[in-house]
Structure 1
Amino acid sequence: MVKTQRVVITPGEPAGIGPDLVVQLAQREWPVELVVCADATLLTNRAAMLGLPLTLRLIPPTPLHNRKLRAH
C-alpha cells in the first residue's frame, strides 16, 4: 500500500498575504497532498477576490479522544 505524503499549511494572519499564497498554491498540481488548516469561507472569499478557482475538500473535525496521536 502506498501512503500519501501530506504537507500541512497554515495561512497565518487572515488579514495578511498568507491566504492569498494558499489560494495560489492550490492552482497547480503537487507531488504531495496539501492540507490547509484554515477557515474555508476565508479561502473561498479570497479566491473570489483574486479571480481564481478554488475547490475545497472539507475534513470535519473529530473529537481528540477518537484520534490516534503520532509524533514525528
Structure 2
Amino acid sequence: MIKFAWLWYLLPLFLGLAVYLLGVYEKSSGSVILLILAIAVLFFGAWRSNLKAGKRFERDRDTWFSNSPIA
C-alpha cells in the first residue's frame, strides 16, 4: 500500500500546487518554470522517500511475523 502512496496523496498534492502556482504567477515569467521545476524535484524526493520507507516497513513486517508462533 505504501508503494502506491504517490497515487493517492503525492500526485494530487503536487498537481494542485502546480495548478495554483500557474494561476498566481504570470505564465510568461521565468519564475513559473523554476517553481514547476522545484515542485518536480520535491515530488521526486518525496516519492523516493516513500519507496524507501515502504521497503523498510515491509522488511520489518516480514521479520516480525516470520518468527510468529501462530502458523
TM-score norm. by structure 1 comes to 0.30
Greater strand percent: which structure? 1
Using CA pairs under 8 Å that are at least 6 residues apart, name the structure with larger relative contact order, 1 or 2: 2
Greater helix percent: which structure? 2
TM-score norm. by structure 2 comes to 0.30
